[in-house]
Structure 1
Amino acid sequence: MTSNIHSPAQRREYIKYQLRLRGTTLAEISRELGVSTATMSQVCLGVRRSDRVLSAIADKLGVSLEALSKLDNEEGRECSKH
């Protein structure tokens, strides 16, 4: 997707931006899944892990879960496993 992600906050904003381009938001996905928007934000920041949330985000973005998890791995971090 991109290699200019250098922090968890940038990762979250990038995901939000990409979702908006596809006509959806984290809030809409949270309602579909029945989880709070805080949970969605924490997962995007890598503070919390939820394969169900990550899978839903990856699905909406049209990417694999692996691709989503690698957004900032070039920096040596796995955002989804903090």
Structure 2
Amino acid sequence: MHQLLLEKGITKSKLDTLKNEITSVEDELQHQEEQIEDVSEQLKNKNVILEKENKQQMKNELDALMKKFGVRDVSELLKSKK
């Protein structure tokens, strides 16, 4: 009887250890998931900023070319190419 109680205690101890390890792993996974979401949001915001910067740069280049060639309206330029 004493041996069974001793084995039961060892088994319970092992189960408690495993439960603690599982909890620790779950916490770490939750932390990593939050980090991934944060990085994803940062990348999304950076892409939006870069897209706006690229559009502005293209607009500036188009404006410079229009001034260089004396074009006031893009539609005028398109008409002259026909």
- Tell me whether the two structures share a fold, i.e. TM-score over 0.5: no
What TM-score comes out, normalization by structure 2 length?
0.23
Larger radius of gyration: 2
Larger relative contact order (CA 8 Å, sep ≥ 6): 1
More helix by share: 2
What TM-score comes out, normalization by structure 1 length?
0.23
